[in-house]
Structures are given as structure tokens and as C-alpha cells.
Amino acid sequence: MKKEVKPANEIKKTIKPVRKSACPYDRRCGGCQYQDTPYKEQLKKKQKTVEKLLSPLCAVKPIAGMKDPLHYRNKVSAAFGRLRNGTYISGVYEENSHRIVPIEECLIEDQKADAIIGTIRGMLKSFKIHTYDEDTGYGLLRHVLVRVGRHSGQIMVVLVLASPILPSKNNFVKALRKEHPEITTIVINVNDKQTSMVLGNKETAIYGKGYIEDSLCDATFRISPKSFYQINPAQTEVLYKKALSLAELTGKERIVDAYCGIGTIGIIAAPHAKEVISVELNRDAVRDAVQNAKKNEIKNISFYQADAGKFMTQMAQQGEHVDVVLMDPPRAGSDEAFMASVVKLSPNRVVYISCNPETLARDLQYFDKHGYKAKEAWPVDMFPFCWDVETVCLLSKLRS
Ligand code: SAH
């Protein structure tokens, strides 16, 4: 008997897909790790991750998830390049490589931002703008970064160029704004170094003010291209509200807001405290923070541009009085200089916001050994479809 040979497309249909992701780039783009996992499952997994790391130290509360976990990212960065056949592409680097995975629309990115990046890609040929080639050093456009103020509707486009001159600059701005009149500022950032950092140091606004504004918890914030701003605005409000409720402010407290970025948490906390002292390393972020305090008419806050550990060491040496420390360090967590100084300053409460439960667990252990007990940890899902999980944790001073 003759064996029936199925046509290729039918064979394909009968083979069960290994993964059932809705994302067409899933296998190549390493951006999301939970693309094929239903959202409820993702939350369960994150809850488990946090419990595993933190439940030996404190109570872990149920994670706060999103109602609609798609297109939450308010910041989109796309690398630009060219295929051998001359077609321009933009997207993300394949994991552990500098090969670009071309992306039209990503399920977690802001849709307007993706559309703007697509428009820029389509304009390159007619404006004779070549994309930068990392190997030869030839070409101009390296990356495009788009930041969207979800509440304000303001949009910033940053063109990262290998050299400062954009040909037909004014016409480029006109053409881009014709397609996207919602763009409120366009910035040229010059990155002429062989580096994996996206942004260089020189910046010129070629349209608008060079920054956008957005609001969070009823306060307005100015955001420059290089300043840190949480990428999921809806969940940021959930996170900040929780952090403030754990701080239990009465209006009498002297607070430190460490790793303050553009001043968000401190500015939101200031009306409920006596005084806020904020510290941040990034110069641009501190400049934004000072403006943000003025804009929100907050007078009981001051900002210091410094390493948080060194700054706290100085405060402790000077014997300053602090009631509450709010801390929000980067993924690597805090350092001993900082934590040892917190212990010396002896605040009643520490509210620790962390985007990495592993370094959080490590730092909580340090605090535990030095008289600060973690009471409760509240995971917040700031990064649906990704492994990362944000946690806000309350620590209290043990009576000595
Ligand atoms: N609290 C802010 C920012 C948190 S992100 C917010 O919610 O928006 C962490 C911040 O720590 C970044 O702004 C980064 O620039 C800053 N940072 C990193 N290392 C630092 C250090 N050693 N000292 C002070 N700030 C630092």
C-alpha cells in the first residue's frame, strides 16, 4: 500500500507548537521570558519567586497585578541597522549579540512609540540618512528612543547619532511631526563611542523643550532623556502608594529619599512630612528633581547629587536625625556603606523598594543582623511578561 504523503503545510498544522506565544519575535528577542505563560500564571510564578527569597525573613503579601498587562512600557528604545539588501531595520538586539531582531510592534511597548519608530525607519531613505555600522564605524543613526507621558500625552523622540549633524534637520522634524503631531520634543543625542551604552553625553533639542512632563500620584514631573523614570506608570502609582502607606507619615518626620531619580517618591511624600532630604547620583536626574520640586511648589525638600552610600556616611558622621528612610536602589541593591549608615542614623522605619528580590533578600539579611526587622513585603508586577519583579518592603527598628 502506498503511504499517504501529506503536503508540507498540513504537516506543519499537525505538529504541536512547542510554545504558543502571541508574540512573533518570541524566539529571537530575549526581552520577555514569560511570553507563552498566561498572565495569572506569571503572577503566581513571581509570587513564588519572592516568597522563596523573602519568606524566611518576613511576611510576603499577594502580588499586585495589572488588569490589562499589554503595551505598558512608556519608554521604547530601538537599535537601527541595515540588511545586506539595503533594507533598513529597527528593533532589539538578539540576546548576547549585536544582531538586530526587526520589530514592527511589540506587545509590551507603547503603540504610539512603535509607530513613531516605524515612521522614522521609513523616512531614512528619502532623507539619505544611513544607519550606523558598528563594525566599520560608518553611518549616522544608531538608536531611537521614545518616551511617552501617559497622563500628559507628551512624547519625546531622541535620535542617537554617531556625529552631531542630521542632514535636512528642519525638514526631518517637519516630516516626522506631520505624521505624528503628538510629538512634543525631538532631541539629538550624540554617541560617538564604541560602546554598548545607548545614549552619549552631548544633547541638543532640535524641536521643543528637550524633555517631557508627566504626572504620577497628582504631582507633575519633568523627565530628561537620560533620567530614570519608571517604565510602567499605572503600576508605579500602586507601588508609590504602598510605599507611602508603609512609611506611615504624620507630617512630623524627617525623611531621606535615597536613589531618588527625578525626585518622584520624595516629592509625593513631602506634603505628609516635615522635611525630605533626597540623594541621587545622576546629574541630569537631580536637575530634573530640583525643577520638579519647584513645579509642584514643594518647599520642604532638598536634593544632593552624590553617591548614596557616601552621602549617608556623611549624614551619620554629622549625627543627623532621621525618622524614615525611603530607599530605591538599582538592581545591584544597596551597599554596606549605605546600610551601615542607616543603622547608625537609627530611623524608626525603612521602606525599601527593590526591582531585584535577590539583592533585596541579601540586604534584608544585613539589616536583620543590625537591628532592623523586615515586617512585610508587597510584590508589585511592574514588568508583565518578564521575569523581573518589584517589591516594596517595610523594615522596623528593633527596640534595643
Ligand atoms: N526612586 C526613583 C529612581 C529609582 S531607580 C524612582 O522611583 O523613579 C534607581 C536610581 O538610583 C537611579 O536614578 C540611579 O541613577 C540611581 N543610582 C544608582 N547608583 C546610585 C548611587 N550609588 N548613589 C545614588 N544614586 C544612585
* Per-residue buried b or exposed e for 219-236, using 16+ beta carbons within 10 Å of the residue's own CB: bebbbbbbbbbbbbbebb
Residue with CA at minimum distance from ligand 1 atom 11: 259
Q: What are phi and psi of 10, to 5 degrees?
A: -70, -40
Same domain, 91 and 175: yes
Q: How many Å lie between the centroid of ligand 1 and the Cα of residue 12?
A: 49
Q: How many Å lie between the centroid of ligand 1 and the Cα of residue 172?
A: 35
Q: How many Å lie between the centroid of ligand 1 and the Cα of residue 76?
A: 20
Query: What's the pLDDT tens digit per position in 65-75?
Result: 999 999 999 99
Domain containing residue 274: 46-67+232-397
How would you class 39 by CB atoms within 10 Å of its CB: exposed for 0-12, middle for 13-18, buried for 19 or more?
Answer: middle
Which pLDDT belongs to residue 200? 95
Query: What's the pLDDT tens digit per position in 173-230?
Result: 999 999 999 999 999 999 999 888 899 999 999 999 999 999 999 999 999 999 999 9
CATH of the domain at 139: 2.40.50.1070
Same domain, 59 and 186: no
CATH of the domain at 258: 3.40.50.150
Which pLDDT belongs to residue 352? 98
Q: Which atom of ligand 1 is nearest to the CA of 257?
A: 1
Which pLDDT belongs to residue 24? 85
* Per-residue buried b or exposed e for 179-188, using 16+ beta carbons within 10 Å of the residue's own CB: ebeebbbbbb
Query: What's the pLDDT tens digit per position in 90-148?
Result: 999 988 888 999 999 999 999 999 999 999 999 999 999 999 998 899 999 999 999 99
Asked whether residue 26 is domain-assigned, the answer is no
Q: Which atom of ligand 1 is nearest to the CA of 260?
A: 1
8 pLDDT tier (thresholds 50, 70, 90): very low
- In which residue are the cell numbers 541595515 written? 82
Same domain, 392 and 265: yes
Same domain, 252 and 377: yes
Whether 259 contacts 326, CB under 8 Å: no
Q: Which atom of ligand 1 is nearest to the CA of 282?
A: 15
Percent of the chain at pLDDT exceeding 90: 87
Mean pLDDT of the region 329-341: 97
Same domain, 238 and 382: yes
Q: How many Å lie between the centroid of ligand 1 and the Cα of residue 335?
A: 13
Same domain, 330 and 242: yes
User: How many domains does one find in the chain?
Assistant: 2
Q: Which atom of ligand 1 is nearest to the CA of 335?
A: 22
The 3-state secondary structure of the chain reads CCCCCCCHHHHHHHCCCCCCCCCCCCCCCCCCCCCCCCHHHHHHHHHHHHHHHHCCCCEECCCECCCCCCCCECEEEEEEEECCCCCEEEEEECCCCCCEEECCCCCCECHHHHHHHHHHHHHCCCCCCCECCCCCCCCCEEEEEEEECCCCCCEEEEEEECCCCCCCHHHHHHHHHHHCCCEEEEEEEECCCCCCCCCCCEEEEEECCCCEEEEECCEEEEECCCCCCCCCHHHHHHHHHHHHHHHCCCCCCEEEEECCCCCHHHHHHHHHCCEEEEEECCHHHHHHHHHHHHHCCCCCEEEEECCHHHHHHHHHHCCCCCCEEEECCCCCCCCHHHHHHHHHHCCCEEEEEECCHHHHHHHHHHHHHCCEEEEEEEEECCCCCCCCCEEEEEEEECCC
Mutational pocket test of ligand 1: of 74, 232, 280, the residue with most ligand atoms within 8 Å of the beta carbon: 280
Asked whether residue 226 is domain-assigned, the answer is no
- Rounded to whole angstroms, how far apart are CA atoms 257 and 264? 9
Q: How many CB atoms lie within 10 A of CB 123?
A: 16
Mutational pocket test of ligand 1: of 259, 283, 342, the residue with most ligand atoms within 8 Å of the beta carbon: 259
Same domain, 163 and 106: yes
330 contact partners, CB below 8 Å, separation of at least 6: 259, 355
Which pLDDT belongs to residue 96? 81
- On the question of pLDDT at 11 being above 50, the answer is no
Which pLDDT belongs to residue 400? 58
Query: What's the pLDDT tens digit per position in 240-288?
Result: 999 999 999 999 999 999 999 999 999 999 999 999 999 999 999 999 9
Domain final residue pick, 155, 178, 212: 212
Q: How many Å lie between the centroid of ligand 1 and the Cα of residue 258?
A: 7
Which pLDDT belongs to residue 3? 44
Domain final residue pick, 177, 212, 247: 212
Query: What's the pLDDT tens digit per position in 155-186?
Result: 999 999 999 999 999 999 999 999 999 999 99
Which pLDDT belongs to residue 2? 43
Domain final residue pick, 162, 183, 212: 212
Query: Is there a catalytic annotation at residue 355?
Result: yes
Whether 116 contacts 180, CB under 8 Å: yes
Residues with CB under 6 A from ligand 1: 228-230, 259-261, 264-265, 279-282, 285, 307-308, 328-330
Mutational pocket test of ligand 1: of 281, 288, 311, the residue with most ligand atoms within 8 Å of the beta carbon: 281
Which pLDDT belongs to residue 206? 98
Q: Which atom of ligand 1 is nearest to the CA of 355?
A: 5
Mutational pocket test of ligand 1: of 75, 221, 228, 231, the residue with most ligand atoms within 8 Å of the beta carbon: 228
Q: How many Å lie between the centroid of ligand 1 and the Cα of residue 230?
A: 11
Average pLDDT, the chain: 93
Q: Which atom of ligand 1 is nearest to the CA of 230?
A: 8
Same domain, 207 and 236: no
Same domain, 116 and 50: no
Mean pLDDT of the region 343-368: 98
Per the structure block, which three cell numbers stand in for 398? 528593633
Same domain, 320 and 196: no
17 pLDDT tier (thresholds 50, 70, 90): very low
Asked whether residue 9 is domain-assigned, the answer is no
Asked whether residue 10 is domain-assigned, the answer is no
| Active-site residue identified among 29, 106, 355, 393 | 355
Which pLDDT belongs to residue 87? 95
- On the question of pLDDT at 13 being above 50, the answer is no
Q: How many Å lie between the centroid of ligand 1 and the Cα of residue 175?
A: 36
Q: How many CB atoms lie within 10 A of CB 126?
A: 11
- On the question of pLDDT at 344 being above 90, the answer is yes
Same domain, 348 and 257: yes
Same domain, 137 and 157: yes
Please work out, in degrees rounded to the nearest 5, the angle formed at the alpha carbon of residue 12 by the alpha carbons of 7 and 18.
Answer: 165
Q: How many Å lie between the centroid of ligand 1 and the Cα of residue 228?
A: 7
- Rounded to whole angstroms, how far apart are CA atoms 91 and 113? 12
Asked whether residue 20 is domain-assigned, the answer is no
Percent of the chain at pLDDT exceeding 70: 94
Residue with CA at minimum distance from ligand 1 atom 22: 307
- Rounded to whole angstroms, how far apart are CA atoms 289 and 295? 10
